[in-house]
Amino acid sequence: MIEWLISIDKDLLLLLNRCHTGFGDWLMFWLSNKYTWIPLYVVLIMLLIQTYKWKGLWIILFAIAAITVSDQSCTHLFKNVFERLRPCHDPEIMDMVLLVNGKCGGKYGFISSHASNTFALAVFLTGWFRNRFRYFAWFIFPWAALVSYSRIYLGVHFPGDVIAGALFGSLTGWFFLWLSGKIVNRNNVYRV
């Protein structure tokens, strides 16, 4: 069963990774760059402070904690434990994987930190903003999905790495949303 899933994961990667264009290469490399999103993070921080005043600082600290736990868990609980090679390091398919700008990343790829971190942030912030900004989720989840997909396009993660990362990140974001709701004690936070 596991071998069958790995085979499907590799086939799906090769299918999605073959859809390259000049503009797509530039766009996906740009979407995948963590520094690209600094202006977005600044806007989100400003929205949190404007919406929640001094309590917004606590929410920001919980958001940072969610991303930190998500990121470090990806490396120490998954990548270093499962040791699944990235597509661009997998000897079975590495010659078929199209890389953009020759960037491959570290040796192991399960689970995707990009997917985990963006989905952790998306779930966490959607909980805090759901009553204030009605369509926030319509923006933040497509953003997280695009950043996550860029990792497949760039040939540095298998689809399974990205899906598992998105699920783990969503759970991490939900946990920190719940925890921050208990500690910050806002009535309009998603309650479990």
Where in the chain are the domains? 2-184
pTM, entire model: 0.91
CA distance 79 to 113: 9
In this predicted structure, the answer to whether residue 42 has a pLDDT above a threshold of 80 is yes
- The b/e string for 159-177 (b: 16+ C-beta within 10 A; e otherwise) is bbbbbbbbebbbebbbbbb
Q: What is the mean pLDDT of the chain?
A: 91
**Chain segment 124-163, per-residue pLDDT in tens:** 999 999 888 889 999 999 999 999 999 999 999 999 999 9
Q: Which of 20-24, 99-103, 168-172 tops mean pLDDT?
A: 168-172
In this predicted structure, the answer to whether residue 77 has a pLDDT above a threshold of 60 is yes
In this predicted structure, the answer to whether residue 191 has a pLDDT above a threshold of 70 is no
**Which pLDDT value is given to residue 164?**
97
Contact between residue 141 and residue 149 where contact means Cβ atoms under 8 Å apart: no
